[in-house]
Chains A and B, each alone.
Chain A
């Protein structure tokens, strides 16, 4: 008798509390910006390239991508439903007017306030955390800290625009090698119009002494954000890269189509962590960011790439951070927490492509669905004909809150070598009334109980995050799921 589920009225009450939570980053900063008129054609692509004083080869690279994109159709296979963006009504370039920053004091005070609201005061970051940040606000990187310390080790960490000017040989060599312009609709679009992003190069044998961090934020209304990130870890090097994202609250949907490429050479290791809380739309499902991202890394011999993501935002998410395990003995990891609430939709997962011998991959995906949301895990594990002794372990768990949301799992498995082995575990659970009552009996309120249970459920993933990110991620989980917190 004590196993009976919540009475309907109480469930409604909890759902109400949960779904009434408002987006905490919904503010808009008045910054003078240089924005080009909406629309997309070859001239716009040339204009973007010209605004950025790009060399001829880069302009051509963009135009090649544009021509591919024009002929492509927007993909429809994902388990998400949305009104397709009108690509001719988006402005593809928006840059804050003041630039050329030599120190933080020269930053637009409005922008600094924005950072403060985001809780990422640069000074604070500089002084306390030893995190070097390359900040992308509306497509142009305005401040890069710690550059000097990094330069001493030969590490390059700068905006993509700067890299195109200063390190063309590296960009020419690696850009588009992991995610080609032709890869998919959004990757092609990004290749044509990307405005900025981050570039990072770690020389041979160097262990990057600090976490490298980028904060993305969409500010201007009606702009798309198309960053391009490229991380190259040369042989035997190590880097941990953090990416955090927020966007102001608006009625209309904003498009975010980023491309991230990781190159891990022999014996190198890249750890890439993301905490994403783009505006998810309001409780009625209005507004929010469309997040269509292509993230992929390639591992050479004995290399390792580890993706960790905590995704709480965006109205629609379409994202599969992947690893191509090309070299023998290379390792790919994917740890993910995806939370959907209100009317959010997420179709996310990973691809592990095992090409080399003795390659190993681990997938741990934790989905949490609340409100009217839909949360899908989509993952591909492919073991090629040369992938002797390849191993994969996949664990996909779904947690449901309330009875109006959905969780879906789409695992794809292709194994072409007889010695390859893979394991797949999947569970679906509901936060039980028993668990909540147990916590309450020990003195925890309903919301503390839910936060505790959810954090426990996500622990395997949160443990992979660097400390300060893990704390932020826990807070975000609480904000995303609890109505009255904060």
Chain B
């Protein structure tokens, strides 16, 4: 699905990613863990195509093709989704209008017919039920006045609507209470299939109790320093990151 090859990226001349190698195949769930400042959010932003980062070396292949020259919206059209750590507010734009626009723009780019209003609404209702969301949600301004949990749930709702091939969840668990965490995890699990993949960025083990990863990687100082299965996450939860830092010192 995605292959990251020796990726180096910097901001304002300051290197953040220093040679990332990662391959996620279709149907797999990978967790990326690591202490603050290790480059986790940078990695997700670089994959999504944010302009602030300079790629100094390496490549990102999405379904076998380099996407480094692609605009963020083109990457989205290819089936890449990023659930933001801090979703932005867009006053006056309703959730339903935003999702409708987003979904139809992607369809247009792929040469597909836009969804008619009733099909769209039906699909929205279906996904909202899955995420146990209130119907009134659709007519609210996007993320405006949303609680932390509502914002994250809205991200997963959009993911469910857009049905991406690869979804990157950037600290989706932060700010969620136990119930919201379970609902979000259920939403993600319902979307898991042999055709699509997930990259889950998190500090904590608790989300991984609900979404069982196939692989766990530890990112430290811009590099993946350790990889393993779900047990690695448990070990990190128990021992913290200090032993990794010491190993690297």
Which residues of A are interface residues toward B (Cβ below 8 A)?
1-2, 4, 6-7, 10, 432-435, 437-446, 448, 452-453, 455-460
Q: Whole-angstrom distance between the alpha carbons of A446 and B81 in the complex?
A: 17
B45 CB-CB contact with A under 8 Å: yes
State A10–B49 Cα separation when bound (angstroms).
Answer: 14
What would be 14 A-B contacts, judged by CB atoms less than 8 Å apart?
Answer: A1-B16, A2-B41, A7-B51, A10-B51, A437-B51, A439-B90, A440-B73, A442-B158, A443-B102, A443-B162, A456-B91, A456-B92, A458-B92, A459-B93
The yes or no answer to B129 lying at the interface (CB within 8 A) is: no
B249 within 8 A of A: no
Q: Please determine whether B93 and A442 come into contact, CB atoms closer than 8 angstroms.
A: no
Q: Which residues of A contact B72 (CB under 8 A)?
A: 437, 440-441
Question: Cβ of B93: which chain A residues have Cβ within 8 Å of it?
Answer: 452-453, 455-456, 459
Complex Cα distance A438/B154, Å?
A: 13
Closest 6 pairs (CB-CB, A-B): A456-B92, A456-B93, A459-B92, A442-B102, A440-B72, A443-B106
Chain B residues within an 8 Å CB radius of A448: 101, 105
CA distance A444 to B75 in the complex (A): 11
Within residues 70 to 127 of chain B, which ones have a CB less than 8 A from any CB in chain A? 71-73, 75-77, 81-82, 84, 87-88, 90-93, 98, 101-103, 105-106, 109
* CA–CA, A143 and B142, complex, Å: 45
**Bound CA–CA A457/B90 (angstroms):** 8
Interface string of B1-19 (1 = CB under 8 A from A): 0000000000110001000
Please state if B90 and A435 are interface contacts (CB–CB under 8 Å).
yes
| A456–B90 touching, CB < 8 Å | yes
Q: How far is the CA of A433 from the CA of B101 in the complex (A)?
A: 19
Q: Kindly list chain B residues whose C-beta atoms are within 8 Å of the C-beta of A453.
A: 90, 93
Q: How far is A4 from B51 in the complex, measured between Cα atoms in Å?
A: 10
B23 interfacial by beta-carbon distance below 8 Å:
no
CB <8 Å contact, A443 and B105: yes
Q: Once A and B bind, how many residue pairs between them come within 8 Å at the CB atom?
A: 90
Contacts beyond the supplied A1-B16, A448-B105: 6 A-B pairs with Cβ under 8 Å: A440-B73, A443-B73, A443-B77, A443-B102, A446-B73, A456-B93
CB neighbours of A455 from chain B (8 A): 92-93
Q: Report whether A457 and B101 are in contact in the complex, using a CB–CB cutoff of 8 Å.
A: no
Interface residue ranges, B against A (CB under 8 Å): 11-12, 16, 41-42, 45, 48-52, 71-73, 75-77, 81-82, 84, 87-88, 90-93, 98, 101-103, 105-106, 109, 141-142, 158, 162
> How far is it, in angstroms, between the C-alpha of A464 and the C-alpha of B77 when the chains are bound?
35
Is there contact, CB below 8 Å, between B73 and A445? Answer: yes
Bound complex: CA of A474 vs CA of B158, how far in Å? 25
In the bound complex, do residue B92 and residue A445 qualify as a contact, i.e. CB atoms below 8 Å apart?
no
Per the bound structure, the CA–CA distance linking A54 and B119 in Å amounts to: 62
Q: A1-B11, A2-B45, A459-B92 in contact; A443/B52 too (CB < 8 A)?
A: no
How distant is B19 from chain A, measured CB to nearest CB, in Å? 19
Min Cβ gap B186→A in Å is 22
Interchain CB contact under 8 A, B91 and A438: no
Which residue of chain B has the shortest Cβ distance to A457 in the bound complex?
B92
**How far is A442 from B73 in the complex, measured between Cα atoms in Å?**
7
- Which among A7, A437, A442 has the greatest number of chain B C-beta atoms within 10 A? A442
Whether the pair B105, A444 counts as a contact (CB closer than 8 A) is yes
Contact of B101 (CB < 8 Å), options: A7, A434, A440, A444: A444
